[in-house]
Amino acid sequence: MNKRKIITLIVLGDVVLAILILLWWLGRPGYVDAAAWRPPPAPALSGPTAPNQALLGAELLAQGQLVGPEDIAVDSRGLVYAGTQDGLIVRVRPDGVLETWANTGGRPLGLDWDPNGNLIVADAYKGLLSLDADGQITVLTTGVNGAAFGFTDDVDVASDGQIYFTDASSKFSQGEYALDLLELRPHGSLLVYDPASGTTRKLLEDLYFANGVALASDESFLLVNETWKYRILRYWLRGERAGQHEVFIDNLPGFPDGVSGNGQGIFWVALPSPRKADVDRMHGMPWLKNTVAKLPDWMRPKAVEYGLVLALDESGTIVASYHDPAGHHLREITSVEEHAGYIYLGSLGNDRIGRLKLATP
């Protein structure tokens, strides 16, 4: 047998072996136990959600100097704070200079100020944290009812100091959020931490990726996003319906992530990706989702590179939207914070913070 035939046989043998290993791997019991779901047809982007170029007018802060500034907080001096993928909390001064302020050693996500001027941080791995003016970290809570949080996500602090926050998934960590999407089982919770007593309580559980949380202007209710179900829930804090919840808005045109209130009757909702037809189709085939979950990350469905923000009133009506259809300027927007006539835009995977001046009414 000549040398060329020997090499060909070796190559063919390696290919066959690789295929057999792949089939064995895909046939193994997986970490994901996917549930079936038939999503409603995706709504058209029309009317108040019609595509526009509004986000192209945003100024880009610290472009190229950040790694995933997922949420934003602005202090009274105009310093812009963000938590990044490498565990840092950075701040951008009004002159544009970027400073490292703290390092949580985890993945800081949701940020908000408490009444005493401390920055409250939902860290995906470290739990609920409080940082004082010098950036010194105090751990507030890491679990509830004897169980550790799996994926501390977003936070909003009430005027009385009560801290409302989410645990996105009790099963999957921050680096595994795509697996939580594929499994589509309710692993998320809405919680509250009382600084006076140091106690943590669950308000809602069995949520489908409990993500952004935001208080209404009068703090009579709060919103919590169920990202994988394309909807936002309302949880009543006061009044006859206190302790009850309902769907606030359903069948959104994308995956809702961060939500924030401006204190004047508007909720800002960040949608890091529009709906994807291939993901919606997969939800009807759990076996396919279980298989896809075993594939490398690069072989799984990817988010659409698109910038999208919605403005809702407190009745759940979409009143405006802001777009970057190409996603070149701002994409994968995960948070929106209004401050002093501007909205600040964070991103899970981008390298910049957006700042857009709002039109004067």
The structure tokens listed for 14 are: 């390696």
Contacts of 361 (CB under 8 A, 6+ apart): none
| Cα gap 60→54, rounded to integer Å | 14
Number of H helices, E strands in the chain: 4, 26
**In whole angstroms, how far apart are CA 298 and each of 161, 285, 287, 294?**
43, 21, 19, 11
The pLDDT, as a whole number, for residue 21 is: 42
The whole-angstrom separation of Cα 334 and Cα 57 is 18
Look at residue 361 in the predicted model and tell me its pLDDT. Answer: 64
pLDDT value of position 12: 54
Query: What would the pLDDT profile of 42-80 be if each residue is shown by its tens digit?
Result: 999 999 999 999 999 999 999 999 999 999 999 999 999
Other CB atoms within a 10 A radius of the CB of residue 256 amount to: 26
Read off the DSSP letter of residue 65.
Answer: S
Contact criterion met (CB below 8 Å) for 319 and 311: yes
Residue 85: CA count within 13 A, CB half-sphere: 13
CATH topology for 52-357 is Neuraminidase (2.120.10)
pLDDT of the residue at 15? 47
pLDDT at site 94: 87
The string of DSSP codes covering 159-204 is TTS-EEEEE--SSS-GGGHHHHHHH----EEEEEEETTTTEEEEEE
CA–CA separation, 56 and 71 (whole Å) = 20
CA separation for the pair 17, 302 (Å, rounded): 29
Concatenate the DSSP letters of all residues of 275-286 into one string: --HHHHHHTT-H
What's the pTM value of the predicted model, to 2 decimals?
0.92
Distance in angstroms (rounded) separating the CA atoms of residues 164 and 207: 15
Q: Which pairing describes strands 353-357 and 342-347: parallel, antiparallel, or unpaired? A: antiparallel
Instruction: Parse the chain into domains and list their residue ranges.
Output: 52-357
pLDDT values of the chain reduced to their tens digit, one per residue, 361 residues: 566 665 555 555 444 444 434 444 444 447 899 999 999 999 999 999 999 999 999 999 999 999 999 999 999 999 999 999 999 999 999 888 999 999 999 999 999 999 999 999 999 999 999 999 999 999 999 999 999 999 999 999 999 999 999 999 999 999 999 999 999 999 999 999 999 999 999 999 999 999 999 999 999 999 999 999 999 999 999 999 999 999 999 999 999 999 999 999 999 999 999 999 999 999 999 999 999 999 988 888 888 999 999 999 999 999 999 999 999 999 999 999 999 999 999 999 999 999 999 987 6
| Cα–Cα distance for residue pair 294/350, rounded to 1 Å | 26
Q: Which residues contact 91 (CB under 8 A, 6 or more apart)?
A: 79, 80, 81, 82, 98, 99, 101
Exposed e or buried b for every residue in 34-50, given b needs 16+ CB within 10 A?
beebebeebbebeeebe
Asked whether 259 and 212 are in contact (CB, 8 A), the reply is: yes
> What's the rounded Cα separation, in Å, for the pair 300 and 177?
12
> Is the distance from CB of 72 to CB of 80 less than 8 angstroms?
yes
Question: What is the C-alpha radius of gyration for the chain, rounded to an integer number of angstroms?
Answer: 22
Strand partners, 193: 163, 200
